[in-house]
Amino acid sequence: MMTYDLLLMRFGEMAIKGKNRKRFEKAAMAHVLTILEAFPRASVRKEYGRFYIMLGGESAPAVIKELKKVFGIASISPVVAVASELEAILHTAASFMGSQTLPEGTTFKVNARRVWKDFPHSSHEMNRLVSGPLLRELPSLKVDVHNPQIELRVEIREDQTYLFSEVIPGAGGYPLGTNGKAMLLLSGGIDSPVAGWSAMRRGLEIECIHFHSYPFTSKKAEEKVIRLAHVLSTYSGEVKLHLVPFTEVQTLLTKAKQDSLMITLMRRAMLKIASALAEQNGALALVTGDSLGQVASQTLPSMNVIGRATELPLLRPLIMMDKPDIIQLSQEIGTYDLSILPFEDCCSLFVPKSPSTNPNLRIIQKIEATSPELTQEIEAAIVGTRTMVLRPGVQPPFNEGEEVIQEDWF
């Protein structure tokens, strides 16, 4: 195993957006700095289109694992730094390549770049000077300049020369919060956390809204959602979670005795509450985990009727995705294991036997209009909303009362 000195982080598509570049870089830098708080020996340096992380002895794989959460980063490369002298470069190139498992016939090429023009050998010369000894010392290597399996990059700079080959994909997208703020409707399921992550990846700041039906649902269901939001906070450094008491609204809606329309009515009430919370918190869109056709409330006719309950743009990052792909993403971002915990959320309790897949907008509007208390209950739910802030590394505040876990027991 090589010991790496720094990490090279490259920006993605945002780097080409001239005017906004500064703002984007600033946001990405803030995100990087939050993550590096956990690695006190590491520091960061900004260069055109790149960040350099000086590891200072921190473990490269551990830091990379966390930095892969930084949105807007296209790729990360672990780098070995060496004095800009030919002998030192050759020596390090040999140990760099020698530390890798190279099956017989591994193709490679050297790609040297002389940034510091006072270095005595040109880029072209360096390609030859570096690859020659490598081919002699490591007989399993073969040169392929067009499509090599390993491309050893040698960047000669005035202070130091950087050697690297591995290119690890980053999160991509846009830096955190550079595209504004939206409210995420967070259930306890698999989809909505993935939708939230996708929105964050695209540069949206996210505040989560969860509707709970305590005492119809357990505190465990609520705790599960807090944990999900906590996972999301590891991607943003901080996430707000609004817990909306939804029991009274639901109870009221059941009085309409329209079992098959219950889901539609509930979803519309949720969107109304979410829109009000969006306004209070300066968000300009709602994000949901809807995936076309997945359940009755996600058919096109249902989405049409439900979506009309809000005037805000409804963003549905997963709308055209298949379930296996969503599950895979949720495993990658670390929400899957929480999502599959078997606690009922507010919807599952009131799910009718056969929910309508084709609700009628006029009937829905009529039911809502003939229930004068509905507006009041929605208002009460908004007022009764509890908000908490979740931060990575900080134990989330679970149920009130004395702390159960005494650290000295463990």
Partner 1 sequence: MIYFDHAATTPPSEEVLRTVNEVMTRHYGNPSSLHRLGEDSDKLLRRAREVCAASLGVQSAEIIFTSGATESNNLALKGAALQYRNRGNHIITTAIEHPSVYECAKQLQVLGFDVTFLPVNGEGKVTAEEVMDAIRPETIMVSIMHVNNETGSVQPIEVIGLQLMATQPKVLFHVDGVQGYGKVPISLKESGIDLYSLSAHKIRGPKGTGLLYVKEGVSLFPLLAGGGQERGMRSGTENVPSVVGMAKAVRLAGVGVQARMLKLNALRKQFIEGLIEIPEVILHSSLEGSAPHIISFSLPGMKAEAVLHMLEEDGLMVSTKSACSSKAAEPSRILLAMGASEAAASSGIRVSLGEEHTEQHIELLLASLNKAVSRLRHLKGGH
Cα-based distances in Å from 385 to 210, 212, 243, 249, 379: 10, 10, 5, 13, 10
Task: Tell whether residue 399 is a contact of partner 1 (CB under 8 A).
Answer: yes
**Residue written as token pair 């700095």:** 33
Contact segment (CB under 8 A) with partner 1 among 116-124, 187-195, 302-310, 400-408 equals: 400-408
Check binding of 406 to partner 1 (CB under 8 A).
Answer: yes
Candidate residues 16, 311, 383, 410; the one interacting with partner 1 per rule CB under 8 A: 410
Radius of gyration of the chain (CA): 27
- Per-residue x/- track, 200-239, partner 1 (CB under 8 A): ------------------xxx-------------------
Q: Please, what is the angle between helix 262-281 and helix 373-383, to 10°? A: 50
Between residue 296 and residue 355, which ones bind partner 1 under the rule CB under 8 A?
337
- Sole window of 101-109, 242-250, 290-298, 402-410 interacting with partner 1 (rule: CB under 8 A): 402-410
Strand partners, 287: 184, 315
Stretch that binds partner 1, among 15-23, 78-86, 352-360, 399-407 (CB under 8 A): 399-407
Report CA torsion sign: 85, 87, 92, 94.
positive
User: Which span (94-102, 255-263, 375-383, 395-403) binds partner 1, by CB under 8 A?
Assistant: 395-403
Query: Which residues are within 8 A (CB) of 131 and not within 5 positions of it... i.e. 6 or more apart?
Result: 108, 109, 110, 143
Q: How many residues bind partner 1 (CB under 8 A)?
A: 13
* 101 counts as binding partner 1 under rule CB under 8 A: no
- Contact status: 1 vs partner 1 (CB under 8 A): no
Could you give phi then psi for residue 341, rounded to 5 degrees?
-60, 140
Q: Put the strands of the sheet holding 205-212 in their side by side order.
A: 314-315, 286-287, 181-185, 205-212, 239-245, 386-390
CB of 220 to partner 1, least distance (A): 6
Q: Measured from the CB of residue 97, what is the shortest distance to partner 1 in angstroms?
A: 24
Query: Which whole-number Å values give the CA distances from 353 to 245, 258, 260, 262, 312, in the listed order?
Result: 24, 12, 8, 11, 31
Task: Give dist(CA 149, CA 107) in Å, integer.
Answer: 5
As measured in angstroms, the least distance from the Cβ of 209 to partner 1 is 24
The reply to whether 48 sits near partner 1 by the rule CB under 8 A is no
> CB-wise, 142 or 220, nearer to partner 1?
220
Cβ proximity to partner 1: between 1 and 383 the closer is 1
The window from 156-164, 271-279, 349-357, 397-405 that contacts partner 1 (CB under 8 A) reads 397-405
Pick between residue 48 and residue 409 the one whose CB is nearest to partner 1.
409
Which residues partner with 79 through β-bridges? 6
Hey, is 185 helix, strand or coil? strand
Q: Is the CB of 281 or the CB of 331 nearer to partner 1?
A: 331
With both helix axes pointing from N to C terminus, report the angle between 262-281 and 300-307 in degrees, rounded to the nearest 10.
Answer: 50
179 with 24: CB under 8 angstroms?
Answer: no
Cα dihedral across residues 77, 82, 86, 91: positive or negative: negative
In sequence order, what are the residues at sequence separation of 6 or more whose Cβ sits closer than 8 angstroms to the Cβ of residue 186?
192, 193, 196, 208, 209, 210, 225, 228, 229, 241
Q: How far is the CB of 227 from partner 1 (least distance, A)?
A: 11
Q: Residue ranges of the alpha helices (H) in 208-261?
A: 219-236, 247-254
Which range, of 20-28, 191-199, 306-314, 398-406, touches partner 1 by CB under 8 A? 398-406
Q: Does 405 bind partner 1 (CB under 8 A)?
A: yes
Residue 23 or 65: the one with the smaller Cβ distance to partner 1 is 65
> What's the token pair of residue 270?
């949720």
SS3 state of residue 152: strand
Preceding amide of 215 cis, omega within 30: yes
CB-nearer residue toward partner 1: 135 or 341: 341
Residue position matching structure tokens 């990490």: 7
Does residue number 147 form part of the binding site for partner 1 (CB under 8 A)? Answer: no
Residue placing its CB nearer to partner 1 in the complex, 164 or 336: 336
Stretch that binds partner 1, among 7-15, 94-102, 285-293, 394-402 (CB under 8 A): 394-402
Provide, rounded to whole angstroms, the least separation between the CB of residue 164 and partner 1.
Answer: 26
Residue 44, SS3 per DSSP = strand
Rounded to the nearest whole angstrom, what is the least distance from the CB of residue 62 to partner 1 in the complex?
A: 14
Kindly state whether residue 409 participates in binding partner 1, applying the rule CB under 8 A.
Answer: yes
Q: Does 395 bind partner 1 (CB under 8 A)?
A: no
Task: Return residues touching partner 1 (CB under 8 A).
Answer: 218-220, 337, 398-399, 401, 404-406, 408-410
